[in-house]
Amino acid sequence: MTWKFTDDVPIYLQIINIMKADIVAGKYRSGDKLPAVRDLAMELGVNPNTVQKAFAELERQGLVQSERTSGRFVSIDEKGIEELRSDISDGYIAEMFANLRKLGMDDKMIKDAVKHWEDKQ
């Protein structure tokens, strides 16, 4: 897998967001072991401290848990995955609305455009 980082957001935050998306998408399921910090850092070409910081934040948020000698594991249940999915999708929708409002569209125009797009699919 190729990870692409941007310069406008700290890398550790981008790692957090990608890991959350991977959990929601089912790449990592509840109980799955996450890659080791050093292995992931080498794969990403970043400092291990950056990955450690991302994993520590995921742990603080309750999305992963550490087992001292075994590594880190996804610790959320199906309800937690659905809540995370809802949070992420709400963010995408809010961003879409904000971008379309910049084009001068009001909420009705945006909803009509989404319906039109859906009908074409």
Question: Is 3 inside any structural domain?
Answer: no
Per residue in 61-107, pLDDT (tens digit) is: 989 999 888 999 998 778 888 899 999 999 999 999 999 999 999 99
pLDDT at residue 16 is higher than 60: yes
15 and 70 part of one domain = yes
61 and 104 part of one domain = no
Q: What is the pLDDT of residue 75?
A: 86
Q: What is the pLDDT of residue 77?
A: 77
State the pLDDT confidence band at 39, using cuts at 50, 70 and 90.
very high
Question: Is 87 inside any structural domain?
Answer: yes
Please, how many CA atoms are within 13 Å of residue 64, restricted to the half-sphere of its CB?
27
67 and 86 part of one domain = no
Question: Is 1 inside any structural domain?
Answer: no
State which residues form the domain around 98.
Answer: 79-120
| Residues 11 and 55 sit within 8 Å (Cβ to Cβ) | no
Number of domain units in the chain: 2
85 and 103 part of one domain = yes
Question: 65: which strand partners?
Answer: 73
* Six-digit token string for 81: 């995955």
Residue 37's CATH number = 1.10.10.10
pLDDT at residue 1 is higher than 80: no
48 and 97 part of one domain = no
Question: Is 6 inside any structural domain?
Answer: no
Question: Is 27 inside any structural domain?
Answer: yes
38 and 65 part of one domain = yes
Contacts of 100 (CB under 8 A, 6+ apart): 109, 110, 113
